[in-house]
Amino acid sequence: MKTKQRQSGVLLPIFSLPGKFGCGTFGDSAYKWIDLLAKGGFSLWQVLPFGITDEHNSPYMSYSSFAGNPFFIDPAELFKAGLVTEDELSEQEASDPYLCQYSIIKEKRLEFFKKAALRVTDKSAINEFFEKNPHIKGTCEFMALSEANGGKAWTEWTVKQALPEDIFTWQFIQYEFHRQWEKLHKYASEKNVQIIGDIPFYVSFNSYDVYGAPEQFLLDGQYVPTHVAGVPPDYFSEDGQLWGNPLYNWSVMEKDGFGWWRARLGYMLSLFDGIRIDHFRAISAYWSIPRGAKSAKEGHWETGPRQKLIDAFASVSEGKLILAENLGLIDEDTDALLAYSGYPGMAVFQFGFDGNPLSPHLPHNYVKNLIAYTGTHDNNTLLGFLWELDDGTRKTVLDYLGNPDDGCIATIHALLMSVADKVIFPAQDLLSYGADTRINTPGKAQGNWQYRITDGQMSSIDWEKFAHLNKLYAR
């Protein structure tokens, strides 16, 4: 694949793609999206984490670091393969083109996959796949056991052996997920579109990761976390954020050269052309919150693995792009670790107007080794951001941009012309959409991870204009 140093891209989760099956899939709309990105001169597509999501549908809370979200599988592919009937396929359709309909999917999709799995006659390719991928195989066994135990946490399981047909259903799901993704990823490569994945830094307690290697986490003798993850008060929350994930037992992880992390990173880099490491700051120092704390304010900083983990990453990264999410409360030690790694950090335009003209989030302060964003999945849309500012700050932003009539397109111009090697825009910002299309609001329990773009909206983006701008600014 031809790679340029100066690149631009678009952030759009798989679940946000158009389609008739309740959320976006690896189906026809994904191929059309890649075609449109190429038409617009964009060579990067950033997605959110691919893991099997929990009951809150957050891609950052998954049942495994080594598996894919079944909802991304295109049901129509199973019909084409003769594994489901036309009536069974039509039963999977959902009506809302604007929001993910998770309740409908969860009610119907697993049984749909079970029917397809029962009709598989030649299992040789599936068996070969799992011989090469033991962690994915372990995930399938974990998910089948979780189902057999009514979805309870693994510490509460009473059924110790899942039915072989249930394990095979999950093996079929994961094989089909990876088969469809490999095909789509290859297509993107042919169109010179690189895909950037996302690694959540922490994992869920109720996951294959903790179940399969509890010694790698800070747990007591009853497998209960002694301390949990979060962040202190910051831009997003006055009380900080109490995530509740178990913390890593770094002293144990170091004994085998961070083998678990190397396996995790290697798996992710086999799926993508590059990855974003969420919460990079925790590699330098992490916020440790005692079990039972009422808020994240009760936590304290602990030193992370630092250069040792970065060196372990280097042994498996093979020169691929690794992006560090270095947002939040960043200190000199984190900056030094980022410099040591050589990874590009992030700048977010929306964070640049705190009154500090030297803010690294302002385009005139950008450096080359950087990925600049108008906003991330955790931010408001660009139009929503501008709309909700107080009058004084909005005037400052527009003054900074040269008092344009269209603040959204002016911001896109500012980032494209900057020295930052890579710039990425959420798809909603290409459309100048408002806050009602926001993907996630940190600290808000409901209504997240639902946004979907329609086929008509996707096509209505002025791709020719963006192709011109990308060429103009050598992207």
Catalytic residue numbers read 278, 325, 378
68 touches 50 (CB < 8 A): yes
What tokens does 437 get? 């299309």
Residue with tokens 């440790």: 288
Return the number of other C-beta atoms located less than 10 Å from residue 17's C-beta: 25
- Helix and strand counts by DSSP (H, E) for the chain: 19, 12
Return the number of other C-beta atoms located less than 10 Å from residue 382's C-beta: 26
Calpha distance 55→272 (Å, rounded): 26
Letter string b/e over residues 301-336, b meaning 16 or more CB atoms within 10 A of that residue's CB: eeebbbeebbebbeebbeeebbbbbbbbeeeeebee
- Bridge partners of 194, per DSSP, are 44
The H-or-E segment that residue 287 falls in is: strand 285-290
114 touches 144 (CB < 8 A): no
Calpha distance 347→421 (Å, rounded): 12
Per-residue DSSP letters for 404-440?
-S-HHHHHHHHHHHSS-SEEEEEHHHHTT--GGG-S-
**What is the β-pairing status of strands 227-231 and 241-246?**
antiparallel
Return the number of other C-beta atoms located less than 10 Å from residue 178's C-beta: 19
What tokens does 392 get? 């004084």
Calpha distance 43→273 (Å, rounded): 11
261 touches 309 (CB < 8 A): yes
Q: Where are the alpha helices (DSSP H) in 231-300?
A: 250-255, 259-271, 281-284
What tokens does 185 get? 């990823």
What tokens does 71 get? 């909802």
Instruction: Give the list of residues 6+ apart from residue 210 with CB closer than 8 angstroms, or none.
Output: 154, 203, 204, 216, 217, 219, 246
Instruction: Give the residue among 128, 448, 122, 423 at the shortest CA–CA distance from 414.
Output: 423
Residue type, 40: G
CA 36 vs CA 3, 267, 413: distances in Å: 18, 28, 20
323 touches 196 (CB < 8 A): yes
